[in-house]
Chain A
């Protein structure tokens, strides 16, 4: 019994060490994902556009970024471009993840927009709306509803990938775990707790996504 108490004590000590690193993980994830959504919307618009000088750069962006591991992109932006740009650690990490996820989200947004019948745009145009207005009021709101589930998946993946920025010295949850582990050599407890914290964040996110999905569900229409 005393051994069990001792073990519980260790767990709580590790938890106290890990928890202060959670805000950094959340911050990196939120900032990167916000950037990714902006880039994803721009990228999707570019991919759909018939204008060559918009379409081709968008295609290049998406294919290049998707073809390179995120880890390599982080190294490249932080160390590779270090002499040129000298970006702050956080900025470099957020840029790398945001640019990477922006490419994936571009394809999701594109699929969402292309899933909307052409007639919806024509109806908007015939009511005197401009192309931009039809995007703003018809296409994007409908596409957004369609892509909430895949977007939630990307968000969770993004949260997990935020641990990659520890390689440029950013201290977040995984890095805090490594630090504890490398000093105290307690492996099971440390990684169990790190995993548990990630899991509790992703589970609450999944819950939030399904609330969002229900809130914006179009009544009577089975969009999933």
Chain B
């Protein structure tokens, strides 16, 4: 099967600071990939590049057959393949939960109100928030916000879901409900790229893992290999720290 994400030799700098150096990997349809690494290692930047939110300096990224070329039109097409979940949720604060879900289907896919409402209702049910549809983001708990954000992304029926530290901003007792939703998605065969510090969760749901440090991929392979007995001393040290 051809890869749905194909990243080759991608580099990017922020001023003098190299953010990504010569990154290459691919993801196959239905695969779950986790990216781990210390903060500042470039993993979030990499994820944002996959969504054309950050331009790359060199190399190439192909998403579901569409190469990212930096133009606004192309970025729009790529983003229709890809759903994104942010660390800080980024729900639209002036819209209630239902409106958050319905906005993009209506203005991007030009669905009618009732069509959009149907889709939104379906995904709200999937994340278990059908009773919160009239609530505003500020009235939700962190876990509910992130589940809303996941449902919002799903409404556009993406082929790939990107998660940027989806549980990092949550209180520990709320991470479980978000991880449960992600687990369900993985079980349904969604292609997912997850930046996370939840090593236990990563071990459980992901097929492959990438360990990054200082903008480079240090180690990549099957999750059991990378997160089981890390061969690289840098990975081992990181795992020791986060698992402590």
A–B contact at 8 Å CB threshold (below): yes
Q: Are the C-beta atoms of A127 and B104 separated by less than 8 Å?
A: yes
Main secondary structure of the interface of A (DSSP, over half): helix
Residues of A at the B interface (CB closer than 8 Å) are 117, 119-120, 122-131, 133, 137-138, 141-142, 145, 218-221
Q: List 12 A-B contacts (CB under 8 A).
A: A119-B90, A120-B90, A122-B53, A124-B92, A126-B51, A126-B153, A127-B108, A128-B156, A129-B104, A218-B94, A218-B136, A218-B138
Chain B proximity of A142: nearest CB distance (Å): 5
Interface residues of B in 80-103 (CB under 8 A from A): 80, 82-84, 86, 88, 90-94, 103
Q: Are the C-beta atoms of A128 and B104 separated by less than 8 Å?
A: yes
Of B103, B136, B153, which is within 8 A of A221 by CB? Answer: B136
Interface flag for B79 (CB, 8 Å): yes
4 closest A-B pairs by beta carbon, nearest first, are A123-B90, A127-B104, A220-B138, A126-B84
Interface flag for B243 (CB, 8 Å): no
- Determine the distance from Cα of A124 to Cα of B86 in the docked complex, in whole angstroms: 12
Interface flag for B152 (CB, 8 Å): yes
Q: Are the C-beta atoms of B92 and A138 separated by less than 8 Å?
A: yes
Contacts of B108 in A (CB 8 A): 127-129, 133
Contacts of B118 in A (CB 8 A): none
Q: How many residues of B contact A (CB 8 A)?
A: 28
Of A122, A123, A137, A220, which is within 8 A of B136 by CB? Answer: A220
Quick one: given A126-B79, A128-B156, A141-B94, are A219 and B139 in contact (CB under 8 Å)? yes
Interface flag for B72 (CB, 8 Å): yes
Nearest to A220 among chain B residues (CB) is B138
- Determine the distance from Cα of A220 to Cα of B91 in the docked complex, in whole angstroms: 14
Quick one: given A126-B79, A127-B104, A137-B107, are A119 and B88 in contact (CB under 8 Å)? yes
- Determine the distance from Cα of A142 to Cα of B83 in the docked complex, in whole angstroms: 23
Quick one: given A128-B76, A221-B138, are A133 and B93 in contact (CB under 8 Å)? no
Q: Are the C-beta atoms of B51 and A129 separated by less than 8 Å?
A: no
Q: Are the C-beta atoms of A142 and B93 separated by less than 8 Å?
A: yes
Contacts of A128 in B (CB 8 A): 76, 79-80, 104, 108, 156
Contacts of A220 in B (CB 8 A): 136, 138-139
Q: Are the C-beta atoms of B93 and A127 separated by less than 8 Å?
A: no
Chain A proximity of B154: nearest CB distance (Å): 11
Nearest to B52 among chain A residues (CB) is A125
Chain B proximity of A180: nearest CB distance (Å): 48
Interface string of B132-165 (1 = CB under 8 A from A): 0000101100000000010011001000000000
Q: Are the C-beta atoms of B139 and A142 separated by less than 8 Å?
A: no
Q: Are the C-beta atoms of A130 and B86 separated by less than 8 Å?
A: no
Quick one: given A218-B138, A221-B136, are A130 and B92 in contact (CB under 8 Å)? no
- Determine the distance from Cα of A125 to Cα of B104 in the docked complex, in whole angstroms: 10
Of B82, B90, B93, B156, which is within 8 A of A122 by CB? Answer: B90
Contacts of A142 in B (CB 8 A): 92-94
Chain B proximity of A143: nearest CB distance (Å): 10
Nearest to B93 among chain A residues (CB) is A218
Contacts of A119 in B (CB 8 A): 86, 88, 90
Nearest to A118 among chain B residues (CB) is B90
Interface residues of B in 39-95 (CB under 8 A from A): 51, 53, 72, 75-76, 79-80, 82-84, 86, 88, 90-94
